[in-house]
Amino acid sequence: MTPFECCQIGADYAASGERDVSMLETAARLHAKVRFDALTLENELRHRPEVVDGWLRWSEDKRWSPAWYFSIADDDSCVVGYYSTDETRQTKTIFNNPFSACAAFIIHELEDYRLLQESKGKW
């Protein structure tokens, strides 16, 4: 899987409305081995800005916590954060463009998926 294919997960979700868990797992396993660089993902996203919309929808459609989220504020700043009912675990980072924010969100999603699978003994 390439960074391009990893970014595509969000675009595919926007098109189908279904999370491709097998692609997410493949991307998470690769990221665990070679660590995707946020700048590499950001460059991919800059060439395909429509993909960012897919990841925004991915985030907006989540109905669980704790979870990472990605949103664009009214002032066009972008927010990537972690929401938890345990307020001590909540984080939020402000980005000045959607591409760097989306890249950070993708990496958090991959790492979070790995941790979830590890906690279930499936990694």
Q: Are 26 and 8 within 8 A, CB to CB?
A: no
What CA–CA distance (Å, rounded) separates 24 from 110? 7
pLDDT at 123 over 90: no
Q: Tokens for 32?
A: 């665990």
- Cis preceding linkage at 49, omega within 30: no
The pLDDT-based confidence of 1 (bands split at 50, 70, 90) is confident
The model's pTM is 0.93
* The predicted structure's pLDDT at residue 4: 83
**DSSP bridge partners of 80:** 70, 93
**DSSP bridge partners of 82:** 68, 91
pLDDT at 3 over 90: no
Distinct helix (H) and strand (E) counts, the chain: 5, 3
Radius of gyration of the chain (CA): 14
| Strand ranges across the sheet with 78-83 | 67-72, 78-83, 91-95
What CA–CA distance (Å, rounded) separates 112 from 25? 11
> What are 63-78's pLDDT values in tens digits?
889 999 999 999 999 9
